Structure 1
């Protein structure tokens, strides 16, 4: 079986029983189950959620996205071997640790296959909750140009590139386009201040103003749990993105939970601590791939300038990357996943066939 057979590049065409269109993002696809199947599974599997909770099958892929584009390799290699399984394994590990340490729950109810989550429907908080422990990336680029205010926080003079900040910074941005909020541009992924959120908490989908403090508490606690564990493994947790949402508990009362993925190489920067102590940055995250793309193409402004999106999309569509580039990413993702979880990441021989069989035989979700 060839390497391309082991990659799940297309994940929105599975024959899962659903009445709604499949929602497909850059990496994951979501299949909303029928009310009947949701209730059946809640009863059969004993999920600790109200009986009327809508459930979904979330299937990850091996696709690689960067700069809001999907990239591919030579020879029909449309993904990174092991990437999907590595991302899910890392998220599962951190979500379990959060639960053990008394933090909030996640949206995941069951893990039928390394590529698959069964999740409960949540009302998303419309914030990309970004935490930063070091000044690097887009924040450093803006700081180097003279910017000192980020999301209402004023940074001091004299910071060095890739240097540790004096405190953990929360620099939230919008998730989706939010309209009619004074001081917040109607665009996806724009920075907002805590005051913006407090003044218009309903527009950001918070149930109450006091939940803003809870979200900040969960941000800080989640970041510190992951940072402390990574430090034991000789890794630095540089920055990351969290997402939150509301679900109902068994009594029907809303509670704030973690959503999406946490602490992965896709949503975070992770550096090798020993190399950092010697003044070198060695990425154990997707940032290494981003830097490779910036160095690979003669005009990196296409990748950094949102006004040049059509050119960027053409660049991703028309340029097959060398296979070795994708294999390097594979080694990075699998390596950090095995380091974090302490378990071997095994590549499926045919992930799509395996998923269909499990969802048919064990969950009766495929006709």
Structure 2
């Protein structure tokens, strides 16, 4: 699915993100379709990746269910392979990025000579992909368009983006979720390296929203060989959509002005689908079953769910 084109009874809003199509119903419920669109460097690539939406939606459903004892989440029903129905929350305007290892943006910052990221001090003497002594939270602003921006907890609280009491609770939830994510990953022979969580609120209750522990929102390393690769200074074998970014960079594209997205051939698109299916099976330990649902059946199932809420 490249995009959805529904009009549900009592629909009050529609939002099309880079990957997700979100319908608001009665300003109380949300229907989220995870499309097969794929983005990199904040650019939506021209061709969809078959079954990518199903992969992301189903991993998120599994992981949200596995963490609901830590924090309540927005999900009420997963009626379709690529769609979830749940609560509409007032979204906190920050993303809670948590890092267990010195990787990605944190490593690029560190390599440049800086020892502070989002107000968090990073110790000297670390190598790329080393563990932090304990996970660090490096929040970002939540941008609907363009890039999210790094921000510190002090800036979040002092600016009023999130009040102190709520933000401290978000930190507690974030660290507990990351710990659970690491435990789940370890059972699959993986290391959850970094990820992000988004939260919303209804009344006085904070809810976990959107997706968690998917290859689009997280980075995983294979545990086997991790220590040996660190000692040898070799790159870690990882599970994430980093392979797509690497392919784009190898073909001269980093999302900069004037650059053209390289041609996505049928063979490349198929290879990306296969990699996402591999990610699903590695992360969940379950076999992936390709599911195709017609627009008419999709609409009927969603309406049935909404009637029952």
TM-score by length of 2: 0.89
Secondary structure at the residue paired with 2:12? Answer: coil
Render the CA deviation track for 1:252-277: whole Å, top value 9, x for unaligned.
Answer: xx211111110100001111222434
2:244 maps to 289
Higher relative contact order (CA 8 A, sep 6+): 1
Q: 1:362 to 1:195 in 2, by over 3 A?
A: closer
**8 Å Cα contact 1:85/1:345 also seen in 2:** no
**8 Å Cα contact 1:284/1:333 also seen in 2:** no
Residues 205-354 of structure 1: matches in 2 within 5 Å? 206=162, 208-248=163-203, 254-279=204-229, 280-297=235-252, 302-303=254-255, 308=256, 310-312=257-259, 315-316=260-261, 319-354=262-297
1:132 matched to 2:125? The reply is no
Q: 1:288 to 1:275 in 2, by over 3 A?
A: farther
**8 Å Cα contact 1:57/1:116 also seen in 2:** yes
1:40 maps to none
Gaps of 5+ in 2: 230-234
Offset, 1:364? 6.2
2 CA distance for matches of 1:320 and 1:364? 44
Offset, 1:19? 4.3
1:17 maps to 9
Secondary structure at the residue paired with 1:274? Answer: coil
Secondary structure at the residue paired with 2:245? Answer: helix
Offset, 1:341? 3.1
Render the CA deviation track for 1:56-78: whole Å, top value 9, x for unaligned.
Answer: 21111011111111113xxxxx2
Gaps of 5+ in 1: 1-7, 36-52, 73-77, 178-186, 249-253
Residues 98-117 of structure 1: matches in 2 within 5 Å? 98-99=67-68, 102-117=69-84
1:75 maps to none
Secondary structure at the residue paired with 1:139? Answer: helix
**8 Å Cα contact 2:77/2:305 also seen in 1:** no
Offset, 1:346? 2.1
Over aligned residue pairs, what C-alpha RMSD do you find? Answer: 2.2
TM-score by length of 1: 0.76
Q: How many residue pairs were aligned?
A: 302
| Greater radius of gyration (CA) | 1
Q: 1:54 to 1:276 in 2, by over 3 A?
A: same
Secondary structure at the residue paired with 1:105? Answer: coil
2 CA distance for matches of 1:360 and 1:246? 25
2 CA distance for matches of 1:363 and 1:130? 32
Deviates more, 1:22-31 or 1:335-344: 335-344
1:83 maps to 52
**Please, which of 32, 39, 48 is the counterpart of residue 24 of structure 2?**
32
2 CA distance for matches of 1:23 and 1:142? 33
2:153 maps to 194
Secondary structure at the residue paired with 2:264? Answer: coil
| Higher share of residues assigned strand | 2
1:65 maps to 39
**8 Å Cα contact 2:90/2:201 also seen in 1:** yes
